[in-house]
Structure 1
Amino acid sequence: MKLPIICPSCESSLNVSQMKCNNCSTEVNGNYELPLYFKLNRDEQDFILEFFLSSGSIKEMAKQAQLSYPTMRNQMDDLIEKIKNLKTI
């Protein structure tokens, strides 16, 4: 199941308000902002994971995805820019 991050009514960012332990049923309530990573869409999260698993090698990522290095670099630059913008919100 995909974690919703955008309000379907007004399109604002959603926060976490409740978490529950599956082991002992303890519940924690509050108003917590999602970590930056979870504010990214699924493809962006996968991109970061692949970058990590390729030991930070854009060249290796491009090879595995059968894309050119400049194409992969542009995707990385776009994601970096999005993260910078999310950090300032």
Structure 2
Amino acid sequence: MKLPIICPSCDHTLNVSQMKCPSCKTEVSGDYELPVLLKLNRDEQDFVLNFFLSSGSIKEMAKQAGLSYPTMRNKMDDLITKVEQLKNNL
């Protein structure tokens, strides 16, 4: 099941209110903000993971995706801008 990150009613970012240990069933409740990377949509999270797995090589990511380096660089720049905005809203 995919973790919901956006409110279906008003489109604001959701907070975490409860977590549960699957082993001992301990539950922790509160009002916790999601980490910045979890506020990204699934495609953006996959992009970050692929960047990490390609040892930070945009050139390698472009090759694997069948895209040009400038196209992949633009995707990276857009994601950097989004992460900076999310980080500044903390």
Q: TM-score, normalised by structure 1?
A: 0.97
Matches within 5 A, 1:35-50: 35-50=35-50
Partner of 2:15: 15
Offset of residue 12 of structure 1: 1.3
How many positions carry a matched residue from both structures?
Answer: 89
Offset of residue 74 of structure 1: 0.3
- Name stretches of at least 5 consecutive residues in structure 2 with no aligned partner: none
For 1:7-61, what per-residue CA distance to the aligned partner results, in whole angstroms no more than 9, with x for missing partners?
1111111100000011111000000000111100000000000000000000000
Q: Name the CA distance, whole Å, in 2 between partners of 1:38 and 1:68.
A: 27
Q: Name the CA distance, whole Å, in 1 between partners of 2:57 and 2:13.
A: 32
Partner of 2:56: 56
Q: Name the CA distance, whole Å, in 2 between partners of 1:36 and 1:6.
A: 13
Q: Name the CA distance, whole Å, in 1 between partners of 2:64 and 2:9.
A: 39
Partner of 1:67: 67
Q: Name the CA distance, whole Å, in 2 between partners of 1:66 and 1:6.
A: 31
Is the counterpart of residue 30 in structure 1 residue 47 in structure 2?
A: no
- Name stretches of at least 5 consecutive residues in structure 1 with no aligned partner: none
The alignment's C-alpha RMSD in Å is: 0.6
Percent identity between matched residues is: 76
Is the counterpart of residue 82 in structure 1 residue 82 in structure 2?
A: yes
With 35-44 and 4-13 compared, the bigger mean Cα shift is at 4-13
